């Protein structure tokens, strides 16, 4: 009997030389190429070879650091990176099917700028663009801009009343930010461009709309300067670890990246997000809940564990992550995916511990294994990322009925 389950979605999270801090010291790593377009083009080509739905490209507004409030002073880690959105724009014409989601820190940037940048990426990629919005609580990032006093927060006191209020404010601000993005993407109706040389009319001005958004953090009149993107609404994603980002994802996102550590944990997180959707009165398509996993993949479990142990020794400490860490073979990872998927996860975003090694293990080991089990597609379907995720193309909210 054919598999009647919803399609399984797979993504890769790309970050520097890989998610392990010593990844850049592996023999097949390419640290000298990290700041080249060719490096990122090769990674995305490999991900597309494995028919992954999308890649996310890490970014931040401060140097990578292992401490919460500033640079850690380490010189044995990768430090420095390119702008994720510009990477995506550079490699979009070099790919054909895979979705491209750069990370954007929304706490210190303006939604008008990001809206036209992501809309442009959607045009450049032919309808494969999205963005993962990120909230900043780091004082060193706030200090780069100097427009506001940073909240008093520390990982050890996040559940204290003052910290919870500050966190709620930041995620409410992010929800408003996404609302402005979406309104700006809708501010041009699909047929606003006439391009009629005979009559001299390039646009129908009546099909461009002010969005007139006024909220606590933003006042944006619109319309956008970029016509409506090919997808209508590019994909919005958010990483969620706790109640406040769960609410953000439920209110504003198409994809929620979450970090369960067991089947029971995954089930609980999905229930929390569904409750948050109900509380927000969300209609239409529910958010796609996708689990993050850090992966060390090799042909044998022993080889994968030995590699992780060697990297931990180079790093001077055992690797820890917000996400669950999987060490084993592609077939064992396929087993885990099957078990966890049964609770209602839409898919998995895999964080390769070492690039390009673990990405190739995903595309050339895991994907064929899932295909043999009938659990993953053998070809790309649909022209846009929205289509591949099973999301309809929405009409502009401002379009005349």
Mean pLDDT, the chain cut into blocks of 10 residues (401 residues total): 75 98 96 97 98 98 85 91 98 98 96 98 98 90 80 74 86 97 97 92 94 96 97 98 96 98 98 97 95 98 98 97 98 98 97 98 98 97 96 93 51
The per-residue DSSP string of 359-384 comes to: HHHIIIIIHHHHHHTT-S-SS--SSS
Number of domains in the chain: 1
* CATH code, domain carrying 79: 3.20.20.30
Residue 198 maps to a domain: no
pLDDT of residue 273: 98
Q: Which of 330, 359, 296 is closest to 43 using CA atoms?
A: 359
Residue 292 maps to a domain: yes
Residue 80 maps to a domain: yes
How many whole angstroms separate alpha carbon 98 and alpha carbon 44? Answer: 8
Q: What is the CA radius of gyration of the chain?
A: 21
b or e along 342-351 (b: 16 or more beta carbons within 10 Å of the residue's beta carbon)? Answer: ebebbbbbbb
pLDDT of residue 2: 46
pLDDT of residue 4: 60
Residue 82 maps to a domain: yes
pLDDT of residue 173: 96
**Three-state DSSP state, 209:** coil
Instruction: State the residue for tokens 């009629």.
Output: 196
Residue 212 maps to a domain: no
Instruction: State the residue for tokens 């014409």.
Output: 93
Q: Which of 261, 263, 236, 262 is closest to 249 using CA atoms?
A: 236
Domain assignment of residue 176, given as a range: 9-187+231-308+319-388
How many whole angstroms separate alpha carbon 327 and alpha carbon 133? Answer: 29
With contact defined as beta carbons under 8 Å apart, do 91 and 37 qualify?
A: yes
The per-residue DSSP string of 259-272 comes to: --SSHHHHHHHHHH
Residue 2 maps to a domain: no
pLDDT of residue 56: 98
Residue 225 maps to a domain: no
Residue 202 maps to a domain: no
Asked if residue 59 belongs to a known ligand binding site, the reply is yes
Joined together, the tokens standing for residue 280 give: 């927000």
**Three-state DSSP state, 202:** strand
């Amino acid at each position: 009997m054919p598999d009647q389950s919803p399609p399984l979605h797979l993504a890769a999270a790309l970050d520097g030389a890989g998610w392990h801090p010593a990844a850049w010291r592996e023999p097949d790593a390419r640290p000298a190429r990290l700041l080249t377009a060719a490096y990122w083009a090769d990674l995305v080509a490999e991900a597309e070879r494995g028919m992954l739905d999308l890649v996310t490209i890490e970014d931040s507004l401060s140097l990578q650091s292992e401490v919460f409030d500033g640079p850690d002073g380490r010189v044995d880690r990768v430090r420095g990176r390119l702008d994720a959105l510009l990477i995506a724009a550079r490699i979009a014409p070099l790919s054909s099917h895979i979705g491209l989601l750069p990370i954007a820190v929304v706490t210190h940037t303006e939604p008008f700028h990001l809206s036209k940048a992501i809309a442009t990426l959607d045009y450049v990629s032919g309808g494969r663009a999205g963005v993962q919005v990120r909230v900043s609580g780091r004082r060193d990032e706030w200090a780069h801009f100097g427009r506001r006093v940073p909240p008093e927060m520390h990982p050890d006191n996040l559940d204290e009343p003052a910290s919870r209020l500050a966190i709620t404010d930041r995620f409410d601000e992010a929800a408003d930010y996404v609302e402005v993005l979406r309104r700006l993407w809708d501010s041009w109706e699909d047929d606003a461009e006439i391009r009629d040389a005979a009559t001299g009319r390039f646009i129908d001005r009546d099909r461009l709309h002010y969005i007139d958004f006024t909220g606590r953090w933003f006042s944006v009149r619109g319309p956008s300067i970029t016509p409506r993107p090919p997808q209508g609404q590019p994909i919005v994603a958010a990483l969620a670890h706790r109640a406040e980002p769960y609410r953000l994802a439920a209110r504003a996102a198409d994809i929620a990246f979450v970090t369960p550590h067991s089947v029971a944990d995954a089930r609980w997180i999905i229930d929390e997000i569904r409750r948050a959707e109900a509380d927000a009165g969300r209609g239409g398509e529910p958010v796609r809940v996708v689990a993050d996993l850090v992966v060390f993949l090799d042909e044998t479990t022993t080889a994968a564990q030995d590699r992780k142990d060697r990297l931990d020794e180079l790093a001077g400490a055992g690797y820890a992550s917000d996400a669950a860490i999987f060490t084993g073979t592609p077939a064992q990872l396929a087993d885990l995916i099957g078990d966890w998927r049964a609770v209602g996860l839409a898919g998995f975003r895999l964080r390769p511990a070492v690039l390009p090694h673990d990405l190739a293990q995903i595309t050339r080991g895991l994907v064929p294994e899932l295909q043999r089990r009938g659990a993953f597609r053998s070809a790309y379907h649909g022209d846009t990322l929205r289509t591949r995720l099973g999301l309809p193309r929405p009409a502009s909210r401002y379009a005349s009925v």
